[in-house]
Structure 1
Amino acid sequence: MTTAFLQVMLSLAAGIALIVLLTAKYRVHAFFALFLACFVVGLGVQLPVNDIITAMKEGFGNILKSLGFIIVLGTMLGVILEHTGSTQVMAAFILRLVGERFAAAAMGITGFIVGLPIFCDSGYIVLSGLNKSVARRTGISIITMSVSLAAGLYAVHCLIPPHPGATAAAGILGADLGKLILTGITVAILPTIVGCWWAHYAGSKIQAGDNDEVHTSREIPDMPVWKAFLPVLVPIVLIAIGAFSDMEKSASGAGTLFHLLGNPVIALLIGVILAFLSAPAWDRHTTGQLMTEAVEKAGSILVIIGAGGAFGAVLAGTRIGEHFSEALHLGSLGIIFPFLLASLLKTAQGSSTVAIITAASVIQPLLPALGLDSETGRLLCMLALGGGSMMISHANDAYFWVISKFSGLEMKAMLKVYSVATVLMGITTLVIVYVLSLFLL
């Protein structure tokens, strides 16, 4: 068994090293990196090629079957909210609510809410113009404003579906999506606060960027605030009803209806419809363009998620869980091991999505050995992976450069403020999840 364990570990290390090398150094698309890693690991443990391909097909298909519609609808919702200007309306409302004195906190709250349906890089690009104009008006350091906005977007991106990494990892681990969304929102609050606090503390000590620089942004549309928030809040409320009520045991017509509406696919579809209704008028050309854009964005995400599922299926075929449980005492590590693995992968290759999908594929067969093979254990494991995928964001992370370029911030300032903020956010998430595990597991 010692020889078999060593063989599995070397094959796994070779597969992960290939993913990191191809995605980080050679900028190969994550789908192809994960695809090739399946063969490296499978052949490394002497699985027949036909068995490898069969496992890959099954893993790819199972993930897309459970997550495909959620990813497409979540992407569509984000695209529409960007187009209609709803995100800017939400940001302006939050700023008015908290006042200019707490403008940085307002941008963090805006990032948190806008980031629920919109990917962090897209959300940052959409809000960067408003962010710079508020920084100029209030005199608050641009790096404080920028990192506060980035922290809010980043926390929900790493922890909450329908973002691709969290969604895929939930599918791989078998975590309940509805409960993950609601628990993830709750857990993400404190890391966001910590990120905003560090932005204020460290940003006030650094002269970075130029608050007088003019950054062109769209005019804030004349839209009722409730109409802007509705497409985001209604799906969350519906999913909450579906996740935390006892509707499955209810035979009443109302119970069945609410359980149906709480399905994440139906809830997101309702959000998309509400987002469409938030615009005064639509023409066929614009509607077709937006749908095409959403499908193209979702397509790239889906192939990565599918490849992650394929990689996980191949790992399961190596019986890695049995080898780990016999050779190591993983039960003593528990929730810390998923966090450390995701942190290592994130820091090495830069993508939170690739890190969390790869880590989830490795962790899934280890759940029993880690003492996490329960509904609650899978949920907490997913949140630990999300916390690990936050750290450390630096020069190999595309989001790092989105923040830098759209805010006019130099590398040194970004490393001192933003990169450190991601470390603090990740550690904060781990502490929260660890404390929860003491009471719930």
Structure 2
Amino acid sequence: MTTAFLQLLVSLAAGIGIIILLTAKYRIPAFFALFLACFLVGWGVQLPVPAIISAMKDGFGNILKSLGFIIVLGTLLGVILEYTGGTRVMAAFILRLAGEKNAALAMGITGFIVGLPIFCDSGYIVLSGLNKSVAARTRVAMVTMSVSLAAGLYAVHCLIPPHPGATAAAGMIRVSPGLLMLTGIAVAIPAAIAGCWWAAWAGKKLPDIPAVTTPEMETIPRIPVWLAFLPVAIPILLIGIGAFTGLEKQATPIARITGILGDPVIALSIGILLAAMQLPARTAAVISPLMQEAAEKAGGILVIIGAGGAFGAVLAATGMGRHLGTAFHLGQAGIFFPFLLAALLKTAQGSSTVAIITAAAIVEPLLPALGLNDPTGRLLCMLALGGGSMMISHANDAYFWVVAKFSGVEMKAMLKVYSVATLLMGLTTLAVVYILSLILR
């Protein structure tokens, strides 16, 4: 092992260490942790400061160029659905369809669907009142209901654009966001089922926590069910059609039209227009604050994924992929390496977004050595990264505390039910991705 390679490994370890230390212990925003890690790694391998800055600017700009609009539009769609109450309408419909005997499964399905455009913590807060109401009415254990809802939201949050971690990593690994959305949904379903199953099984073995409900929690907006689902269903349908017609080699007029409509930017814009139809008044006084809220939420996300892109560019400039590929026989590791790396980072520092972005930055130059440097391999790598970023959610994860505080579930029960559920969800995702790798390759 050469001195240069040892120097690279030490610098990489220091960079990851500073990210974990600053975000997990000192609660420094991820942007600044990633920003400092860029310089730490660059200086560690003796890159000139101008080269570090140039790589950071290129990485930051390239990520925002490809993903900025998706993040902003996806955030605005979620904000409008929260405001109109469309999420509560969808939840109530799914509960009626599944029946009160399957209340926990209904909340898991609700979380899955609502989580497609809405971030998991926001989605849980929006649905927590309805969740308590259903738990009180059906007498299902509160921990079971809460973890089922949390699992549905969490599965799509870690795997599917426009959620920030998956979106940023897709840009680094160079995977189509539309294709990732479609395959991510298919992979997220068994992960969510695993989480809901464990919630139902483990919840029976713990003392029940009575749910307290108020009349306000029962309030469901008077929006037609089909209209509530439309802003979520239509973008997914358009992206799916666009992805499949895009595989055709001949650029027919229909393929060109579906390709335009299936672009995630256009599809999400159409979803926003459909969601805006549910607003009680489509005036500047109503719409402007919603846009402002979405812009503020998206701004924090954009700087994180931009910093992740900068970190990835600095790692690429160090020649890490060439060094690691020569030193280790990574071909046998395949999808397991990105999964384990993301899982280690997630468990250590708590944020799924930081874990998947950091892991993607490290893995991208290693794709040839891992045997994943083709379109299918890159897609499988992305799904493995998403699965790794699920496990293990515990006390250093902000979402862990959102679920605990809004459901009233104690720490011990959260660790026994929710944390174990995230472990099973991650392992289930890995198993599904491995099966896909056997089929597709």
TM-score when normalising by structure 2: 0.98
Q: Is the 8 A contact 2:112 2:153 kept in 1?
A: yes
Q: Is the 8 A contact 2:245 2:255 kept in 1?
A: no
Q: Deviations over 1:135-191 (max 9, x none)?
A: 000000000000000000000000000000000000000011111000000000001
Which amino acid is 2:393 matched to? S
Structure 2 residue aligned with 1:292: 292
Which amino acid is 1:159 matched to? L
C-alpha distance in structure 2 between counterparts of 1:302 and 1:368, whole Å: 29
C-alpha distance in structure 1 between counterparts of 2:253 and 2:7, whole Å: 56
| 1:303-322 matched pairs, under 5 angstroms | 303-322=303-322
C-alpha distance in structure 2 between counterparts of 1:30 and 1:418, whole Å: 24
Q: Is the 8 A contact 2:100 2:138 kept in 1?
A: yes
Q: Is the 8 A contact 1:90 1:229 kept in 2?
A: yes
C-alpha distance in structure 2 between counterparts of 1:151 and 1:46, whole Å: 44
Gaps of 5+ in 1: none
Query: Structure 1 residue 279 and structure 2 residue 279: aligned?
Result: yes
Q: CA deviation at 1:281?
A: 2.1
Structure 1 residue aligned with 2:140: 140
Q: CA deviation at 1:305?
A: 0.2
Q: CA deviation at 1:119?
A: 0.2
Q: CA deviation at 1:193?
A: 0.6
Aligned length: 441
C-alpha distance in structure 2 between counterparts of 1:185 and 1:393, whole Å: 21
C-alpha distance in structure 2 between counterparts of 1:80 and 1:390, whole Å: 27
Structure 2 residue aligned with 1:238: 238
Q: Is the 8 A contact 2:129 2:213 kept in 1?
A: no
Structure 1 residue aligned with 2:221: 221
Structure 2 residue aligned with 1:10: 10
| 1:339-358 matched pairs, under 5 angstroms | 339-358=339-358
Q: What secondary structure, in the 3-state scheme, does the structure 2 residue paired with 1:415 have?
A: helix
Structure 1 residue aligned with 2:253: 253
Structure 1 stretches of at least 4 aligned residues deviating more than 3 Å after TM superposition? 212-218, 246-252
Structure 2 residue aligned with 1:126: 126
Q: Deviations over 1:328-374 (max 9, x none)?
A: 01111110000000000000000000000000000000000000001
Q: What secondary structure, in the 3-state scheme, does the structure 2 residue paired with 1:279 have?
A: coil
Which amino acid is 1:11 matched to? S
Q: Is the 8 A contact 1:129 1:215 kept in 2?
A: no
Structure 1 residue aligned with 2:389: 389
Structure 2 residue aligned with 1:64: 64
Query: Structure 1 residue 112 and structure 2 residue 115: aligned?
Result: no
Which amino acid is 2:151 matched to? A
Which amino acid is 1:266 matched to? I
C-alpha distance in structure 2 between counterparts of 1:216 and 1:206, whole Å: 28
C-alpha distance in structure 1 between counterparts of 2:236 and 2:262, whole Å: 9
Q: What secondary structure, in the 3-state scheme, does the structure 1 residue paired with 2:401 have?
A: helix
Structure 1 residue aligned with 2:37: 37
Structure 2 residue aligned with 1:338: 338
Q: Is the 8 A contact 1:156 1:185 kept in 2?
A: yes
C-alpha distance in structure 1 between counterparts of 2:274 and 2:413, whole Å: 40
C-alpha distance in structure 2 between counterparts of 1:184 and 1:247, whole Å: 18
Which amino acid is 1:265 matched to? V
Fraction of identical pairs, as percent? 71
Structure 1 residue aligned with 2:92: 92
C-alpha distance in structure 2 between counterparts of 1:218 and 1:163, whole Å: 29
| 1:372-387 matched pairs, under 5 angstroms | 372-387=372-387
Q: What secondary structure, in the 3-state scheme, does the structure 2 residue paired with 1:217 have?
A: helix
Which amino acid is 2:127 matched to? L
Structure 2 residue aligned with 1:417: 417
After superposition, the CA RMSD in angstroms is: 1.2
C-alpha distance in structure 1 between counterparts of 2:28 and 2:302, whole Å: 16
Query: Structure 1 residue 360 and structure 2 residue 372: aligned?
Result: no
Q: CA deviation at 1:440?
A: 1.7
Query: Structure 1 residue 181 and structure 2 residue 145: aligned?
Result: no
Structure 1 residue aligned with 2:157: 157
C-alpha distance in structure 1 between counterparts of 2:363 and 2:161, whole Å: 19
Q: CA deviation at 1:247?
A: 6.5
Q: Is the 8 A contact 1:178 1:239 kept in 2?
A: yes
C-alpha distance in structure 1 between counterparts of 2:57 and 2:251, whole Å: 38
Q: CA deviation at 1:219?
A: 1.9
Which amino acid is 1:305 matched to? I
Q: CA deviation at 1:212?
A: 3.7
Gaps of 5+ in 2: none
Structure 1 residue aligned with 2:55: 55
C-alpha distance in structure 1 between counterparts of 2:198 and 2:142, whole Å: 14
TM-score when normalising by structure 1: 0.98
Q: CA deviation at 1:248?
A: 5.8
